[in-house]
Structure 1
Amino acid sequence: MATDLNKLDATGLAELIRTREVSSVEVVQAHLDRIKAVNPKINAVVTLVDGALDAARAADESLAAGAEVGPLHGVPFTVKDSFDTAGVLTQRGSPIFAGRIPDTDATSVARIKRAGGILLAKTNLPEFAYWIESDNLLTGRTNNPWDLNRSSGGSSGGESAAIAAGMSPLGIGSDLSISLRGPAADTGIAAIKPTRGRIPMTGAWPREPRRDWHVGPMARTIRDLALAYSLLAGSDGADGFATVPRDFDAGLGASPDRPVRLGWLVDSGLGPIDAEVAATVQEAANALQGAGIRVDAVSIPALERDNPLELFTRQHVMEMKPAMREATAGHEDQMFMYSKTMLATPDTSVQDYVVAEQGIERLRDGFAEYFQKYDALLLPVTTIPAHAHGLKQFTLNGQTVEAFHVMSTTVPFNLTGLPALSMRFGTTNDGMPIGVQLVANWHAESTILYLASLLESLSPVRDQHPAL
């Protein structure tokens, strides 16, 4: 049974614990055993929580005593190492913060704990959570469990790899431009970046530029995403961007009483896309159409007018660099190469910054217009499947692009704050996962959760796990 426990989702594990078919101790121990067995190959987990088994015993005792329990009672979860965890190392992927132990939990961590979740481990990331691959000087590089020679993505790459490899059923990550959805696509799991501000950033680092950062759950099933999102969402009185009250419906979403209108695209300003990725998006569109969704191939003029990746680079460099300089002052010799590269990027002029801000406003207007006609948008998560470690450039359709092109399909939704979800729907010829991305109107997470749940039921790659 212990092996099977590593393949079950958090919702299923919670039910087994609640009905006392298995104990929380058994579940936690199964995941600790899995970490011991496979983490040396993957390097996704960077810190184990010493008291996890004690917490599991306490969970079993409270259940036996008839206590009222939360929806994740006794279920282990993991957290990206950019989130504060009380009494547990939070080192942010940098020697500068080696040995750092916070006194309090980030809001998102505290909320999963209040739902009964047991913090099991912290997971790897790029230094300061700023890169498309999870590698740093302090805890090293994370490998993709489907192919150890490839990246698990960044910046929540340790989290995605841990969940894909069965070391954790559920995790918390963050997303500046790709960091939840890209790693999920690279490793074949699911993740949701909610509307900006739905989940507080309190206790997550870095916060600059905070209007582009989003917190979100990662899991192997859509029902786990929906459950975790419902627990995480809502204001906390500390993050000024998180202003939506907690008493709103954040669930999976029922089938609407009218046909859902979905547009899909694989170009329209996104640049070159890998052929297998494009084909998978079309297959997903066809599957949803066959299930009764109204589906159209679309273009979005706003994406064609303003290049979101260029806007993002101009905007976030201007806002990020002062905070990074402050954090690293006097410790420049301890910085990893990617952070050094970012600090060496030329400063954005005030004029270019204003132009970028105006471009972002046009993007928001363009999507507002799109969602007057459609309920959701389907498109690639990443422009290529999981790539080799240390990627600097790659070629698509005869065009050579920089590594950052991998996120041209995700960054528009950080700039605009729209909710976006990543899930697996395909496989490359050499056996790597391919994801698709669903986007909805602001505050319409239930729409993409509904569509994702439907797509999950139609998926040709359900219940597949890497062979480790």
Structure 2
Amino acid sequence: MSTELFYQDATTLAQLIRTKEVSPVEVVQAHLDRISAVDPALNAVVAIADTALAAAKAAEAAVLNGEDVGPLHGVPFTVKDAIDTAGLLTQRGSPIFKGRVPDTDATTVARMKQAGGIVLAKTNIPEFSFWIETDNLLSGRTLNPWNLDRTPGGSSGGESAAIAAGMAPIGLSTDVAISIRGPAAHTGVMGLKATHGRIPMTGVWPREPRRFWHVGPMARTIRDLALTYSVLAGPDGADGYSTSPLGLDSGRTNTGGRALRVGWLVEPGFGAIDPEVAETVQVAAEALKSTGVIVEPARIPIIEEVNALELLWKIQAMETKPAFRKVTAGHEDKIFKHVQAVFDTPDTSIEDFVAAEQQIERIRDGFSQYFQRYDALLCPVTPVPAHGHDASEFVIGGETVSSLHIMDTTAPFSVTGLPALSMRFGTSYDGLPIGVQLVSPWLAESTILHLGSLLEQVSPVRDLHPDLSRLAVRA
């Protein structure tokens, strides 16, 4: 069992610990050993918690003493380096913050600990969490465990790579345009961006633009996403956007009443989509239909008319510049190219800024109309599977598009704050994971978690874990 612990999901590990079939010390040590074995080749982990084994011993004592334990008791988790961890480096992917150690935990970290989770390590990010790949001047580039020549995505690429490679069963990530869902898709794991505000952002940096930032879980199973979400969600009295109690959920399942109705969409509206990605979404639609869900092709006119990513960038660049300039002042030689690109972006006029805000309101209205007919949307997570490092453009169906196009399939659900779930459902011709995205109405996380569970049961994917035996690492 000890040699297989690093690929057990968190729910299984928690059960094994509660029933004394395995010790939290064994579990934590197995994951520390896994990090030691595979991370030198992947560079996903940027700091290891020196308190992890002590916490595991305390967790073991609690079980042996018959104490009441939380749902994640003794289970290790990793944390994206944008999220504060008390007593553990949180350097935000930048040499400007080298050596920074917070005094307090972010709300999400504190809640994971309260549920019995054990902080294991921090994972790599692009500088300030602001790019579609994970690379920076402080800790370098993270590689995709499925193919080292491909990116694990950004900005939660370190987190996704760590979970895919068995370095942790679950982890905490953030998302402003793609950063949970894209990396999850690139590495074959699962990620949940809940309704905006459902999970407090307290202790996460940067906060600008506040209306679009989310924090959420990554895992390898739907039930782990659901469990972690139940631990994380709910107001904390500090984040003014986090106001909805966890019990307020407008979602539906197939149990009782009418069957769920799901629309599936590849094109038009998201731009060019790789044929293998398009096929995976269609296969997922047919598979979901086989479970008793009503599934049919759909169109959403507003996303054919308005590009959400362009609107997000107009707002994001203006709102992040002041925060970024404040922390980089006097450290201009330590700024990586992607944050510099934010500074180099022309300012948005007040007229264009207001127009962008109004266009986003139109997108919200368009989705509200869509969800009058459907309980969920099934669509691509990314227009292409994991791409090469430093790609500036893609060729899709003969059309050349900017690498920023990778966010055109996720940005609409970020600017509107809709809950969206990313999960693997296919494999490319060259062995890379391909994901699908499930989107539900606001405050209806239970719907996409239910649909994700149905898809998980009928998934055609068999190679669940990357083959890391080829890496020059210790066994």
Under TM normalisation by the shorter chain, which class is it? over 0.9
Distance 1:254 1:237 in 2: 34
The sequence identity of aligned pairs, in percent, is: 65
2:33 partner amino acid:
D
Q: 1:124 to 1:385 in 2, by over 3 A?
A: same
- Structure 1 stretch displaced more, 189-198 or 344-353: 344-353
| 1:89-108 correspondence runs (5 A) | 89-108=89-108
> How many Å apart are 1:307 and its aligned residue?
1.1
Query: Which residue number corresponds to residue 133 of structure 1?
Result: 133
Letter in 1 for 2:235: S
**Residue 420 of structure 2 is aligned to residue 417 of structure 1:** no
Whether the aligned pair in 2 keeps the contact of 1:145 and 1:466 (CA below 8 Å) is: yes
Contact 1:230 1:251 in 2 (8 A): no
Structure 1 Cα separation of the partners of residues 378 and 40 of structure 2: 36
8 Å contact kept, 2:192–2:422: yes
SS in 1 for 2:439: strand
Offset at residue 232 of structure 1 (A): 0.2
Cα distance between partner residues in 1 of 2:381 and 2:256: 25
Gaps of 5+ in 1: none
Q: Which residue number corresponds to residue 162 of structure 2?
A: 162
Q: Distance in 1 between matches of 2:463 and 2:67?
A: 33
Q: CA deviation at 1:313?
A: 1.4
Counterparts of 1:2 and 1:432, CA distance in 2: 28
Q: Are the aligned partners of 1:79 and 1:121 in contact in 2 as well (CA < 8 Å)? A: yes
CA contact (8 A) 1:17 1:23 kept: yes
* Letter in structure 2 aligned against 1:410: T
Q: CA deviation at 1:268?
A: 2.4
- Alpha-carbon spacing, 1:145–1:252, altered in 2? closer, same or farther (3 Å): farther
Counterpart residue number, 2:18: 18
Per the alignment, residue 222 of structure 1 pairs with 222
TM-score, normalised via structure 2 length: 0.97
State the match for 2:464 in structure 1. 464
Q: Paired residue for 1:352?
A: 352
Output the amino acid matched with 1:349.
S
Q: Tell me what 2:3 maps to.
A: 3
User: Equivalent residue of 1:174, what SS?
Assistant: strand
Query: CA contact under 8 A between 2:250 and 2:443: conserved in structure 1?
Result: no
In the alignment, structure 1 residue 326 sits paired with structure 2 residue 329? no
Task: Give 2:346's aligned amino acid.
Answer: P
Provide the rounded CA distance (Å) in 1 between the counterparts of 2:3 and 2:407. 35
Distance 1:250 1:61, change over 3 A: farther
Q: Deviations over 1:18-56 (max 9, x none)?
A: 000000000000000000000000000110000101100
Query: How far apart in 2 are the matches of 1:136 and 1:177?
Result: 19
Q: Aligned residue for 1:58?
A: 58
Once the two structures are TM-superposed, the CA of residue 246 in structure 1 deviates from its matched residue by 4.3
TM-score by length of 1: 0.98
Q: Which residue of 1 aligns with 2:473?
A: none
Distance 1:463 1:227, change over 3 A: farther
CA RMSD of the aligned region, Å?
A: 1.3
Evaluate the alpha carbon distance shift between residue 376 and residue 283 of structure 1 in structure 2; reply closer, same or farther with a 3 A threshold. Answer: same
Quote the offset at 1:329 in angstroms: 1.1
Any idea what SS the aligned residue of 1:61 has?
A: helix
Residues 168-225 of structure 1, C-alpha deviations (whole Å, 9 max, x = no match): 0000000000000000000000000000000000000100001110010000000000
Are the aligned partners of 1:230 and 1:249 in contact in 2 as well (CA < 8 Å)?
no
Structure 2: stretches of 5+ with no match in the other structure: 469-475
C-alpha separation in 1, matches of 2:250 and 2:101: 32
C-alpha contact 1:264 1:377 (8 A) present in aligned 2: yes
Residues 230 and 17 (structure 1 numbering): CA distance in 2 closer, same or farther, change over 3 Å?
same
Q: Describe the SS at the equivalent of 1:378.
A: strand
For the Cα contact (< 8 Å) 2:251–2:444, is it kept in 1? Answer: no
Contact kept in structure 2, 1:112 and 1:231, CA below 8 Å: yes
Does 395-404 or 367-376 show the bigger shift? 395-404
Give the count of matched residue pairs.
Answer: 468
Residue in structure 2 matched with residue 336 of structure 1 by the alignment: 336
Whether contact under 8 Å (1:227, 1:251) holds in the other structure is no
Q: How much has 1:255 moved relative to structure 2? A: 3.4
CA contact (8 A) 1:269 1:303 kept: yes
